[in-house]
Amino acid sequence: EPEVTQTPSHQVTQMGQEVILRCVPISNHLYFYWYRQILGQKVEFLVSFYNNEISEKSEIFDDQFSVERPDGSNFTLKIRSTKLEDSAMYFCASSGTPDYNSPLHFGNGTRLTVT
Amino acid sequence: DQQVKQNSPSLSVQEGRISILNCDYTNSMFDYFLWYKKYPAEGPTFLISISSIKDKNEDGRFTVFLNKSAKHLSLHIVPSQPGDSAVYFCAASAYGNTGKLIFGQGTTLQVKP
């Protein structure tokens, strides 16, 4: 079964550094998402992306965050200047269509640790 | 943000018996509900969904029930198997925006052999 692939599985960075989290969505999917889960908290929506544009973003997704689809297969999340509170599990997801017949498929996540 | 609540942090069930996981929501605009299962070091895996026009959806051993008047949904697993041991998340979306999911905090299910 096709799956969403995320790299790296674990990223350690120092506060203030830039990080890029990478995702390869399922190949025929057109809608892409980032979610995150801070330890002990709920999984929460960050951003949705379609047709090379952000469709919607949460209040968490401030100017420090950006997303990009640099080529036909990758989807990235960049955090420009990491803060301690950015430490979390970041999940990429994709879907074929934005309707009831196409639930989100999630990757295994990247654990980001900011020291 | 308490729009989706799973009040039981954990549940333990004997193999072969029924597991019932519960979820409550507060936003009456939610029109799509899903259950995801998550193993350690993996991402959430889609299990089953239901739209607000239905009150039941079944897929093999998994059945989701939706009670709109009570703003409550439940996931039934029959019969439960040890491989079902995982964290189960309830999620919901509103206004047909099926990509923006609001998650509950999860219930850890342990199925004992």
Instruction: Output the pLDDT for position B2.
Output: 77
CB A12 within 8 A of CB A80: no
Beta-strand (E) ranges in A1-115? 5-7, 10-13, 19-24, 31-37, 43-50, 53-57, 65-68, 75-79, 88-95, 105-106, 110-114
**Minimal-distance CA residue of chain A relative to B96:** A99
CB contact under 8 A, A43 and B34: no
pLDDT tens sequence across A70-101: 888 899 999 999 999 999 999 999 998 877 77
Closest residue of chain A to B31, computed from CA coordinates? A100
In 3D, which of B36, B19, B20 has the Cα closest to residue B82? Answer: B19
Q: Which residue type sits at B98?
A: T
CATH number, residue B32: 2.60.40.10
Query: Does A104 contact B46 at a Cβ distance shorter than 8 Å?
Result: yes
Q: Which residues of chain B lie closer than 8 angstroms to A48, CB-CB?
A: 99-100
For residue B84, the SS3 value is: helix
User: What does the alpha-carbon distance between residue B24 and residue B68 come to, in Å, rounded to a whole number?
Assistant: 10
Instruction: Please report the number of interchain residue pairs, chain A to chain B, with beta-carbon separation below 8 angstroms.
Output: 63
As for how many domains chain B has, the answer is: 1
What is the structure's pLDDT at A93?
Answer: 97
Residue B3's pLDDT band, with cuts at 50, 70 and 90, is very high
CA distance B59 to A32: 26
- The domain in which residue B42 lies consists of 4-112
User: Which residue type occupies B7?
Assistant: N
CB B49 within 8 A of CB A103: yes
Q: B50 to chain A: nearest residue by CA?
A: A100
Retrieve residue A88's tokens.
């979390």
Could you tell me if A49 and A66 are in contact, meaning their C-beta atoms sit under 8 angstroms apart? no
**Chain B residues within 8 Å of chain A (Cβ atoms):** 1, 32, 34, 36, 41-46, 49, 51, 89, 91, 96-106
Chain A CB contacts of B45 under 8 Å are 106
Answer whether residue B1 shows pLDDT above 70: no
A45 and B104 within 8 Å at the Cβ level: the answer is no
No. of helices (H) and no. of strands (E), chain A = 0, 11
A43–chain B nearest CA distance, Å: 6
Nearby residues of B35 by Cβ (< 8 Å), 6 or more positions away? B21, B47, B48, B49, B62, B64, B75, B88, B89, B90, B91
Give per-residue pLDDT as tens, B69-97.
Answer: 999 999 999 999 999 999 999 999 998 78
Spell out, as residue ranges, where chain A has pLDDT lower than 50: none
pLDDT band at B62 (very low <50, low <70, confident <90, very high): very high
B12-56 pLDDT tens trace: 999 999 999 999 999 999 999 999 999 998 999 999 999 999 999
Q: Determine the Cα–Cα distance for residues A67 and B75; give it in Å rounded to an integer.
A: 34
* CATH number attached to the domain at A5-114: 2.60.40.10
Q: Are strands B45-51 and B30-38 parallel, antiparallel or unpaired?
A: antiparallel
- B-chain residues within 8 Å CB-CB of A106? 36, 43-45
| Per-residue model confidence (pLDDT) at position B43 | 94
